[in-house]
Structure 1
Amino acid sequence: MSPHFTRVVTELMGYKNAKYMLAGHKVWEEAMYPWYTEPEFVKMAIDEDIPHILVDLRSEEKAKREQIPGAFNYASNQIKELYQNLPNDKKKTRVILYSDNNEEAVKAYSALKANMYEMVSILNGGIDAWKAKDYPVESNKIRKEMPNALPAKLLPGAISTAEFKKLALNIPPDTVIFDVRSPDEYLSGAVPGALTVPIATIIAGRWNEIPQDKKVVIHCAAGNRALQVWRFMKNKGYNNIVWVDGKPPKEVLTQK
């Protein structure tokens, strides 16, 4: 978590005990430390049909008794079989692992990352954390056969970088682009005609500068801040608003 995102989760999302890692996520990944995801995201992925592969690493006996809906069962001693059955697209296949033994989950995570699967995470707290939220479970459904590929689907409210490129190169009269990056990032290159409103200033009250009579397109450097601003603005009653899921193409960041 970066300093600006720490401010987002404390001031915008209400978290009280948020810290950030000074070295950043790149150093974390280089050290092969695992990424965790929360039950709320898994529930959203299921409810909103966000493409993912959910893997129950517990024994088949435990999975038969209860498991998270839609999970595939590959016990921790079946990682080779899991790898052989996953979809082939290692860059875009979102894999979420869970177990009742975090050490086994980390081993499976490390094996998939070593085999170049990029979007792998572990459900923080496993099925116990899931049930603690009163989320549903299912029984007697052991799944092994996975799809060859996951359907392409964006997160709610998102547009692709390809669509953003078309908009940014010829901004329609009824559309406004908001750049929520920091001033330093803006100076490194920006979309001509875009309005720069850093995320911290939106939190501080500048959100009311965003017009409601136009389509609003929000972008940042990778998508995280844009998503948070999108959620914030939706809660403020904005409906004709989208965010860019990904890094803006360099071809559109021509204003210095």
Structure 2
Amino acid sequence: MPSKRNLIAVLALLLTFCGVFTGCDTGSAVDDANLPAVQNISVAEAKALIDRNAVSVDFIILDVRTPSEYAQGHIPGALNLDYYASFEASLSAFDKTKTYLVYCRTGNRSASAARLMLDNGFAAIYNMQGGINAWISGGLPLET
């Protein structure tokens, strides 16, 4: 039978290990909350964002579809930057302090593009869920 002294030593050792392993990740939840994130928004929210920023030079609508998709119709005022053609390399030409609304056909490419933008230091990024298909379904205007 172990002595009382040995039992106390083992318990102290176990408590030390528990403290070490549970105390290693201090503050990560708080730090994560302060990191910028992509804001996924609906078509209605995107339209409201566009309307609120209609005259702002600090707001950019970015269509990440191919040039042929873009030519078939796009959100009025949108710039085209093809996600499949050196998208990440082209980001250096854009101002990281501006606000960007990013969209594609269905929302998949734009989600990836928005994530790349975030990883490259852009802070204010909105991804329009559902893409241009949802925009068209909502009866909203296109430019060709």
Considering the TM-score relative to the shorter chain, is it more than 0.5?
yes
Higher share of residues assigned helix? 2
Deviations 1:153-178 (A, max 9, x none): xx952111111122345643031110
The match for 1:213 among 74, 78, 97 is: 97
Contact kept, 8 Å, 2:70 with 2:80, in 1: the verdict is yes
Q: Any idea what SS the aligned residue of 1:233 has?
A: helix
How many correspondences in the alignment?
102
Matching of residue 232 in structure 1 with residue 116 in structure 2: yes
**Counterpart amino acid of residue 222 in structure 1:** T
Shift of 1:208: 1.4
Please give the TM-score of this superposition, normalised by the length of structure 1: 0.36
Matching of residue 175 in structure 1 with residue 64 in structure 2: no
Give the Cα–Cα distance (whole angstroms) in 2 for the partners of residues 195 and 159 of structure 1.
19
Taking CA–CA contacts closer than 8 Å with sequence separation of 6 or more, which of the two structures ends up with the larger relative contact order? 2
Q: Which residue of the partner structure matches residue 131 of structure 1?
A: none
Query: Cα 1:178–1:156, aligned 2, differ >3 Å: closer, same or farther?
Result: closer
Q: Which residue of the partner structure matches residue 140 of structure 1?
A: none
Q: Cα RMSD (Å) of the superposition? A: 2.2
Please give the TM-score of this superposition, normalised by the length of structure 2: 0.62
**Counterpart amino acid of residue 73 in structure 2:** G
Contact kept, 8 Å, 2:38 with 2:115, in 1: the verdict is no
Q: Any idea what SS the aligned residue of 2:127 has?
A: strand
Query: Cα 1:207–1:247, aligned 2, differ >3 Å: closer, same or farther?
Result: same
Deviations 1:113-150 (A, max 9, x none): xxxxxxxxxxxxxxxxxxxxxxxxxxxxxxxxxxxxxx
| Structure 2 gap segments, 5+ residues each | 1-36
Shift of 1:202: 4.1
Give the Cα–Cα distance (whole angstroms) in 1 for the partners of residues 120 and 67 of structure 2.
25
Moved more, 236-245 or 168-177: 168-177
Q: State percent identity of aligned pairs.
A: 28
Q: Any idea what SS the aligned residue of 1:201 has?
A: coil
